[in-house]
Amino acid sequence: MLPTKQPYSWNLIGIVTCLVILILSSAFAVKTFTPEPMVLEIPSNFPKPTYDFANNPLTKEGFELGRKLFYDGSLSKTGDISCGSCHQQYAAFIQADHDKSHGVDDQLGRRNALPIFNALFKKSFFWDGGVPKLDFVPVNPLENVVEMDMKLDSAILKLNASEKYRSLFKNAFGVDKITSVEVLHAFAQFMGAMISANSKYDKFVRKEGETLTANELEGLKLFQTKCSSCHATDLFTDGSYRNNGISLDFNSDKGRAEVTDNPADIGKFKVPSLRNVAFTGPYMHDGSFETLEQVLEHYNSGIKQSVTLDLQLMNKDGKPGIPLTKEEQAKIISFLHTLSDFELLHDNGFSEPNH
């Protein structure tokens, strides 16, 4: 700063006083803003998280607030559809008994819901991977006219009008005015902390005293040779987009191509995780299969051949399919049942909070 002709003394007193006030007021603020840090244990058999909590420190208050928002139907246009309406805990956080999700005014979405657990590890979100960052996931269902049909700014106005929410946001993030930063961070804390890693299979691979039956073990071996090239790692997905031959008509839903505009991506959808797959039927992005038996028979004999069909699903004889006898299919299914995490389904920490 350049020197001025004015005396400095008043300036100095002013600055010192301001500093004192600042320190005093921050001391007051600290008193009301002391969220309790929450520590997440990353399962030893999982890959590295993709979400960085460094930008959004995980706390008990932030997580609880995210949970409240997740189950709050007033964030929809009609007041009755919450995230929890389509991501139900007893169905491993998908919408039970629906092949296409049901949103406001009972409108049908065009795709089958995806589960939300292990969001911390996902490379992208939604069947076409349209959203690369967890922070921005909730804006999609909120604003989608067939899901919750509520613009984010309207939701934020609503939250600011609620004394209860204002105090919860203050406790969690130390803010007086709620903005999209805190709302989206709260959602990310709830979803990010929802880790599903306590299935029979997990306890078996982590050597925590579980054993698999002979049938399940044979199923695991078959799975490793026939399925794990796509359903890879202990997340059971490699996060890529592929066409596994369930349809020939992609006019109403082009899949990954809707994001990339690349014709080579038409009919490709994200390889879903198979954790808790026993609960997440109906299956596939369009909900076209009711049971795991149907899914396995599809891979054996039902694959439809289109230009973008994954080459791994082609046999040397030029015919598509993963040959599997009925017996082998049954073994794979018994293995898939070992991926059920009953602790996730019954953990009260993830359920709808009591009012």
Partner 1 sequence: MKNALIIIALLFSVSVYANEKDSTIINKTGFSLDFKNVFGTAPFEFKKEYTTAFGEKLNFVTLNYFISNIKLTKKDGSEYIVPQDSSYFLIKHLDSTSHGIHLNGIPAGKYKSVTFTIGVDSVRNTMDVSKRTGALDVGARARGMYWVWNSGYIFFKLEGKTINEVDSLSKNFQYHIGGYGGYETKTINNIKVKTIELGKIRVSSKKHPTIHIQVDIAKFFDNVNPLKVAEHRSVMGGPFSGKISENYFNIFNLENVTY
Size of residue set near ligand HEC by CB under 6 A: 52
Q: Which does 87 bind (CB under 5 to 8 A by kind): partner 1, ligand HEC, none?
A: ligand HEC
Of the pair 103, 320, the CB lying nearest partner 1 is at: 103
Q: Of these, 280, 308, 334, 340, which contacts ligand HEC (CB under 6 A)?
A: 280
Using the contact rule CB under 8 A, the part of the chain among 95-103, 125-133, 198-206, 318-326 near partner 1 is 125-133
Cα–Cα distance measured from residue 239 to residue 235, given in angstroms and rounded to the nearest whole number: 9
Buried b / exposed e across 67-89, counting CB within 10 Å, b at 16+? bbbbbbeebbbeeebbbbbbbbb
Of the pair 174, 230, the CB lying nearest ligand HEC is at: 230
Q: Residue 37, SS3?
A: strand
Using the contact rule CB under 6 A, the part of the chain among 32-40, 43-51, 99-107, 212-220 near ligand HEC is 99-107
Q: Which does 13 bind (CB under 5 to 8 A by kind): ligand HEC, partner 1, none?
A: partner 1
Of the pair 56, 244, the CB lying nearest partner 1 is at: 56
Cα–Cα distance measured from residue 306 to residue 248, given in angstroms and rounded to the nearest whole number: 6
The amino acid that residue 173 corresponds to is: F
Nearest Cα residue to 203 out of 215, 216, 191: 216
DSSP string, 245-258: SS-S--SS--BTHH
Structure tokens at 336: 């898939």
Cα–Cα distance measured from residue 184 to residue 81, given in angstroms and rounded to the nearest whole number: 18
Residue 46 CB, shortest distance to partner 1, in Å, is 20
**10 forms part of the interface with partner 1 (CB under 8 A):** yes
Cα three-residue angle 181-47-124, rounded to 5 degrees = 45
By the 8 A CB rule, do 110 and 168 touch?
A: no
Q: Which of residues 293-312 bind ligand HEC (CB under 6 A)?
A: 295-296, 299, 310, 312
Residue 247 CB, shortest distance to partner 1, in Å, is 20
Residues 6+ apart with CB under 8 A from 290: 281, 282, 283
Provide the binding-site residues for partner 1, judged by CB under 8 A.
1-4, 6, 10-11, 13-15, 17-18, 21, 24, 52, 55-56, 123-124, 126, 128-133, 135-136, 139-140, 142-144, 151-153, 155-156, 179-181, 183-185, 258-261
